[in-house]
Chain A
Amino acid sequence: MDFNEQKEQWQAAGTSDASTWSATNLNQNWDHPRLRALKRQLIFETVCWLLFLVFFYTALDGHLRPIGWNIALAVGLVLLIAHAILGYRLASRPVGSAPLRQALTSQLSSLRRYSRFSMTLRTVTLLIFFGFLVSTIPGLLETPRIWLAGTILTWTGVGLYINYRIWRKHFRALEATLGELGK
């Protein structure tokens, strides 16, 4: 089989209706559905964190809690907003015209950096939030209240593990493709 017939079929495929498609899509500023969805998610997350940032002090009796916990929680919330914006920028960054292997390696390395930042920030902010909530409870590390600290740490651990599993799935898909190129 010399594949000449298949070459002809391949080269003839996909050429009709070109001008209509490009004109329609030019009107959409070359946006694409995944980014539109991510933009909605970004706006929703940012509004939620901002509302929480504005109201947590009064709603959760911030004045009764140590100032350090208040500041730490506010910084954590600001960083969560920055994290959401960074995630959107990462998803919308140009893939460019570098060779495939180089483009995938660079994408994997950016994702790994972002995932480390993301998992650390989410875990630390969750711990700060729990710390903020229980900061007025005296003798937290004494029995029988130690169970409360244990529950907090367990739930934080579960959250971190779920986050890690999601990232690992993405990495494995990219690593598998890079592996194909390396054979």
Chain B
Amino acid sequence: MTIETIFQQLLTEHIGILRKVSRLYADSPADLEDLMQEIAYQLWKAFPSFRRDSKTGTWVYRVALNTAIGRIRKRRPLISYRALVPEQSEPAEDDDSPMQRLFAAIRQLPKTDRALIALFFEDLSHDEIGRILGITENNVGVRLHRIKAKLKTILKQD
């Protein structure tokens, strides 16, 4: 089995993470596709040094978040579609579907808060979240408490 095949299997298995992270940070459907490709490229680059001492999903999240949050774009689009960015290949979602509303609500949070709540929704422990973001477990707990309160308010308003 070639390294490309192994990588393709890994990507197929974890494509949901790429989609979800891209959807949290992309400004438009075209930007979402670009970001997914950028994350796939970065995963491919990092793949040879992946030592499998962490769960594969956690590793994919690390690379995806580093790519999405750290990327520098030359210019932002004049019109932002952030609240409306759909999952292009998913079956058409109603604009008012609970999932669409959840993504729209999370996108209203600051960049690192979006990452934190996404990792919490993946059922990762505070320790794992802290290690992915480079902050203490205690800090994760305090921030999550604040983010959940904020998200609750946003979801109620919507």
Q: Which residues of A contact B (CB under 8 A)?
A: 1, 3, 5-7, 9-23, 25-26, 28, 30-35, 94-104, 107, 111, 170, 173-174, 177, 180-181, 183
Contact = CB atoms under 8 A, between A and B. Distances in A.
A21 B35 CA distance: 13
Given A23-B8, A30-B44, A32-B38, A13 B20 contact: yes
B89 A181 contact: no
B9 to A, nearest CB: 9
A96 B122 contact: no
Contact of B16 (A14, A34, A96, A98): A14
Interface in B1-56: 4, 7-8, 11-13, 15-20, 23, 34, 36-38, 40-46, 49-50
Contacts of B20: 10, 13-14
A12 B103 CA distance: 13
The 3 closest A-B pairs by CB, nearest first: A101-B134, A99-B134, A14-B19
A104 to B, nearest CB: 6
B133 A100 contact: yes
A9 B113 contact: no
- Say whether chain B's binding surface is mostly helix, strand, loop, or mixed: helix
Given A15-B15, A100-B115, A180-B111, 17 more contacts: A9-B102, A10-B20, A10-B118, A11-B121, A13-B23, A13-B87, A22-B12, A35-B41, A94-B42, A94-B45, A95-B42, A95-B63, A95-B67, A97-B63, A101-B133, A180-B113, A181-B112
A31 B20 CA distance: 20
Q: How large is the interface on B (under 10, 10 to 19, 20 to 34, 35 or more residues)?
A: 35 or more
A183 B141 CA distance: 13
Contact of B123 (A7, A25, A181): A7
B111 A96 contact: no
A6 B42 contact: no
Nearest to B148: A3
Nearest to A2: B148
B82 interface: no
B77 interface: no
B148 to A, nearest CB: 7
Interface in B60-102: 62-63, 65-67, 69-73, 87, 89-91, 98-99, 102
Given A30-B41, A102-B134, A177 B111 contact: yes
Given A14-B15, A32-B34, A3 B121 contact: yes
Looking at B15, B45, B123, B151, the one whose CB has the most chain A CB atoms below 10 A away is B15
A79 to B, nearest CB: 23
Given A25-B37, A100-B115, A170-B72, A10 B121 contact: yes
Contacts of B38: 32-34
A34 B36 CA distance: 12
Nearest to A5: B98
Interface centre among B16, B18, B73, B131 (most CB of A within 10 A): B16
